[in-house]
Structure 1
C-alpha cells in the first residue's frame, strides 16, 4: 500500500477513521481500472437514497466532475480537480459558496471525495515547464473509481426496488377496482349479504394509507385487499351456482329466490343486536349458510386502529369457523412471536400454533381460555390473537381476561380479527422497518 497518499485536512477540520479508510481504499485501485465519469455519476443519482446524500450535493459533485478534462477516470491519472468556490458556484447554477462548502463536506464524509489540501488550504496545481501538472491540491475523485462496482450494484438494487414497487402499486390499483365494482354489482343485483359492511371493510384497509407508502405498507394493503376480493368472489360464485336455472328442457323449473330480498338484511341486523331474537323463518330456511356469509373472513380486514371491532354480523356469521389470514400478513403484523418458533423462526401455521401455546403460558393465559378461543375463532385465528396480544403485552393488564373478552365478542359477532392485524401493521410501519 502506498501510504504517501494519506493526507489530513487543512485548518480546524478533523480527520476520522472513515476518512483514513477511504484514502487507503483509494490507494488500492488496480492499475488498469477505469470508468466513464458520467456513467458513474448517473449510477450515483440512482443510488442516492442508499448513500444518504442529497440532490444538491450531487449537483456540486457534477460541477466538480466537469472540471476533470478527460471523459474517463483512470487509475494512472492523478484524478484531482482544483476549482475555486467561485468557479464551482458558476458551474452549479449560482449556488452560494457557503452552501457549496457544506455540500462538499457531505461528499467527503460520504466517502465520495478525498481532500488533498495544500499547506495554506488553497486549491491549485504546479506545472512543469512543458505545461504538465506535477502536483495538484484540491479534491481527489479516486473514491468514485474505487467504489464504482459498489455504486453500480446499489443503483441496480434501487432500480429493482422501484420496479417492484411499481408492480405492487399496479396490482393494488387493479384489486381495488375489482372490489369496488364487485360490491357495486352485488348491491345493484340485490345479492344476499351485508354489502354495506363489506364496503366498511374496504374503507378500513385504506383509512391510514399514506400518499407515499413504503413497500411494506403497500404489501400489507395488497394482501388485505386480495383477501377481501377472494372472499367476495367466493360468495358471489356460491350465489350464482345456487341461482343457476335447471338445464332440463322438458321442465319449466327455475330456482325460487326469496320474494323478500330486503328481509335478509333486516334479520341480519336484528341478530347482530340481540341473540335469539325472532326472525322471519323464510329467511333462515331459504338462504344457504354459505350465502348468509361473505366468508366471514372478509370482515377480518377491518377498520379502526384499536384492537377489536363492533361489526354487523349475525349469529350465523359468529358461528362460522373462519379461514385464517395469510401467514405472511400475520408475521408482518406480529414480529415478536417469531422468537418463540422452532429455532427462532416460523415457516408454517404449525410453527405459529406451537409458538402460541408457549406464549400463552408466558402471558399467564389459562388453558381453558385458549381452548375456548380455538373453538370460537379456530386454532389458526386463536394463535394469531395470541401473537397480537404479545405485541401489545405492555399495554394489557390481564392477557387471559382480554382473550376471554375478545372470544365472547367474537361469539356475538362483535369482533373481527382483521382490524387487529391492520392496526399492528400500521404500528410497525411507524417504528423500525425492515431494510430493503
Structure 2
C-alpha cells in the first residue's frame, strides 16, 4: 500500500511550498471515490483550456493511464504507476525522452499527477511475501482522482459555453444575411430611405467582429446587428402600410366596374355550377374569377400575412422560454448537477443539462439537434423535465428526438410540460391553469 508521508524530489530538483500543497491536495480524496479512468480522461481533454495543458501532455497522460491495471480509479487501491522511460515512450507514440520529461513536468505543474520518487530516483515496486504491493515509486494518479469533480464541472461549463458560442455565431450569420438582402431589396425596389448610410453602418459593425470570437466580445455585436435589422424591417413595413390606401382605392374601383346588378348569379349563385347555366352567366363567373396582383396582395394582408415582398413559407418558431424560477420550481432535481450543487442563472442550468444528458444516456447528436431546433435554454429545460419525471421515461434519448421533431413542426410547447409536472407535485396548481 502507498505511504502518506511527504515525498521530496530526487536529485537537484528543489522542494517548494507549492509542491507540498499539491501533494496534500492529491491526498484529500473522499472515501469511496471512484471514476472510470477513460471517462475522466475525456473530461480532462474537454477541460484542457481551463487546466492549461497541451495536447502532447495529454498524450503522455493517456500513456500513463494505460499502465494502471483497472478501468476504475479508486482510492482503495494503489494509484501509483511505475513504467520505465522506454515503455512510456512506446505508449506515447514514440515520443523522445527529452520531450517526454518536459510534458511530464507540465502534468505535474497542472496538478494532474504527482511524482513519488524512490531513494535512488528509479521507478519500481516492492512487493511483500504474499505478492501484494508494499511500496511503489513512480507517478501518482491521486491528484487526478481528487480533482475529478472539479474537472467534470469545468468540462461541462466549457461544453456549455461552446454550445452557446455556436448558437451566437449561427444567429449572427442569419442576421448578416437578412440585413444584406433586405437592404438590397429596398434599393432595387426604390423604397424611400437612407440606405447608403445604413449599409455603411452595417459594414462598420461587421469590421468589428474579432477573429477569435468568444461570448464576451460577440454578444454586443450581435445585439447591434439585431437592432439594425429591426430598424430596417420597421422602415419596410412602414412603406408597405403607406402603399395600402392606394391599393384599396383601386380595388374598390374594380369592384364597382365588375359588378353586374342585373345578373341572376348575384342572387342565385347555385345556378352557376349547374349544367343548365346560361353562357352569359358562365362568362360573368370566369370574368370575376380573374384576380389581379393587387387583389392577391390585399387578400394576403387581409388574411394576416405580410406583403408580397416578404411573403414566404411560415417557419416553426422556437418554443417560448419560461422564467428560471418556474423551471426550478417544477424540476428541483436539476439543481444537484449545477456548479457547486446549485443553479443561479440560465447558464448554470445549461451547464447542468450537459452533465445530465450524458448521465441519462442521451447521445450528443440528439442533444445538439435539440439545441439547434429549440435553442440551448429550452433544451436545458426539457432535460430538467426528463430528469424530474425519472422512471416514467424509458428512453430519454428517443423521447428528446421525438420532442425535437414536434418542435420542428411547431407542435411542441414547454408550458404544458412544466404545468403537468407542477400539477403532479401540487394539485392546487390545476385550479390556476
Indicate the TM-score class for this superposition, using the shorter chain for normalisation. 0.5 to 0.7
**In structure 2, C-alpha distance between the alignment counterparts of 1:250 and 1:187, rounded to whole Å:** 30
User: Quick one: distance in 2 between partners of 1:4 and 1:94?
Assistant: 33
Determine the structure 2 residue equivalent to 1:41: 41
Name the structure 1 match of 2:102: 102
Instruction: Give the superposition deviation at 1:143.
Output: 0.7
**Is 1:53 equivalent to 2:75 in the alignment?**
no
For 1:39 and 1:51, the matched residues in 2 are separated by: 16
Residue 136 of structure 1 aligns to a residue whose secondary structure is strand
Contact 2:126 2:133 in 1 (8 A): yes
**Mapped partners of 1:28, 1:157: distance in 2:** 24
Which residue number corresponds to residue 32 of structure 1?
A: 32
Q: Partner residue of 2:11?
A: 11
* 2:187 paired with 1:219: no
CA distance in 2, matches of 1:196, 1:190: 12
User: What residue is the counterpart of 1:148 in the other structure?
Assistant: 148
How many residues are aligned here? 252
CA distance in 1, matches of 2:48, 2:79: 22
Question: Which digits, 9 at most, give the CA deviation of each residue in 1:219-276, with x for residues without a partner?
Answer: 12201111111111111111111122342444479xxxxxxxxxxxxxxxxxxxxxxx
The alpha carbon displacement at 1:145 in A equals 1.1
Cα distance in 2, alignment partners of residues 102 and 14 from structure 1: 16
The answer for the alignment partner of 2:112 in structure 1 is 112
1:63 to 2:30 alignment: no
- Select the structure that is richer in helix: 2
CA contact (8 A) 1:5 1:23 kept: no
Is the deviation greater in 244-253 or in 7-16?
A: 244-253
* Structure 2 spans left out of the alignment, 5+ residues: 256-433
Residue 177 of structure 1 corresponds to: 177
Measure, in 2, the Cα distance between the counterparts of 1:76 and 1:250: 89
Aligned-partner SS, 2:248: coil
Post-superposition CA distance 1:332-353 (Å, at most 9, x none)? xxxxxxxxxxxxxxxxxxxxxx
Give, in whole Å, the separation in 2 of the partners of 1:215 and 1:85: 43
Q: Would you say the 8 A contact 1:19–1:111 is kept in 2?
A: no
Residues in 2 aligned to 1:240 and 1:183: alpha-carbon distance in whole angstroms: 15
Q: Alignment partner of 1:5: what SS?
A: coil
Q: Distance in 2 between matches of 1:34 and 1:176?
A: 49
Question: Does structure 2 conserve the Cα–Cα contact (< 8 Å) formed by 1:123 and 1:138?
Answer: yes
For residues 136 and 219 of structure 1, the distance between their equivalents in structure 2, rounded to whole angstroms, comes to: 52
Offset at 1:3? 8.5
Distance 1:84 1:105 in 2: 16
Name 2:237's counterpart in structure 1: 237
Query: In the superposition, relative to structure 1, how do residues 16 and 3 fare at CA in structure 2: closer, same or farther (>3 Å)?
Result: farther
C-alpha deviation, 1:36, in angstroms: 0.7
TM-score by length of 2: 0.56
Per-residue CA deviation, residues 17-72 of structure 1 (Å, 9 max, x unaligned), is: 23222221222322311111111100100111111111111110010011001111
Q: Secondary structure at the match of 1:126?
A: strand
Give the distance between the partners of 1:246 and 1:208, measured in 2 at CA: 43
Shift of 1:86: 1.6
- Cross-structure match for 1:73: 73
Alpha carbons 2:113, 2:142 under 8 Å: kept: yes
In structure 1, distance between residues paired with 2:207 and 2:46: 32
Aligned residues: CA RMSD = 1.9
Q: CA offsets per residue over residues 388-422 of structure 1, 9 Å max, x none?
A: xxxxxxxxxxxxxxxxxxxxxxxxxxxxxxxxxxx
Q: 3-state DSSP class of the match of 2:115?
A: strand
The equivalent residue for 1:22 is 22
The corresponding residue for 1:355 is none
User: For structure 1, which runs of at least 5 residues remain unmatched after alignment?
Assistant: 254-436
Bigger radius of gyration, 1 or 2?
2
Q: Give the Cα–Cα distance (whole angstroms) in 2 for the partners of residues 128 and 200 of structure 1.
A: 80
Judge conservation of contact 2:27–2:143 (CA < 8 Å) in 1: no
1:157 equivalent in structure 2: 157
CA distance in 2, matches of 1:199, 1:15: 63
